[in-house]
Homo-oligomer: A and B are copies of this chain.
Amino acid sequence: MKKIEAIIRIEKFEEVKDALNELGYPGMTKTPVEGHGKQKGLKQQFRGTTFVVEFPPKIKLEIVAADKNVDEIVDAIVTKARTGEVGDGKIFISPVESVIKVRTGEKGEEAL
């Protein structure tokens, strides 16, 4: 199993979610985060003076999926989350050794 960790734009979340829904996915965890990569900050203003939001808010999605489903999930996210501007985000894939379903105590892929 793999964990797919996608950091995307807040505005793109609805679209990504809908695409994943159509695809079907085992489950998803969503965390509000702040970050930046190439995108070096957002300008906002307050009482007439600007300030830089160095870490613009993003949404982090975590999906743990069976190895065989990883590619289609990643594709769906990439397609929907892209605007072509800096700040579109990244997807990280890392190994998961084991999954346990709390409700049933099941382990492994069927626990997803």
On chain B, the residues within 8 Å of A27 by CB distance are: 35-38, 90
Q: Mark A2-34, 1 if CB is under 8 A from B, else 0.
A: 110011100000000100000000111111111
Whether A94 sits at the interface, judged by CB under 8 Å, is yes
* Number of A interface residues in the complex (CB < 8 A): 54
Instruction: Give complex CA distance A89, B89 in Å.
Output: 27
A93-B93 CB under 8 A given contacts A35-B29, A58-B29, A82-B102: no
| Residues A31 and B28 in contact, CB atoms below 8 Å apart | no
B95 and A29 form a contact (CB under 8 A): no
Per-residue 0/1 for A82-100: is the Cβ within 8 Å of any B Cβ (1 yes, 0 no)? Answer: 1111111111111111111
Given A36-B28, A38-B27, CB of A92 within 8 Å of CB of B99: yes
Known: A30-B34, A34-B29, A97-B93. Contact between A8 and B78, CB under 8 A? no
Known: A29-B34, A93-B96. A102 touches B77 (CB 8 A): yes
Which A residues fall within an 8 A CB radius of B?
A: 2-3, 6-8, 17, 26-38, 54-55, 58, 60, 62, 64, 74, 77-78, 81-103, 105, 111-112
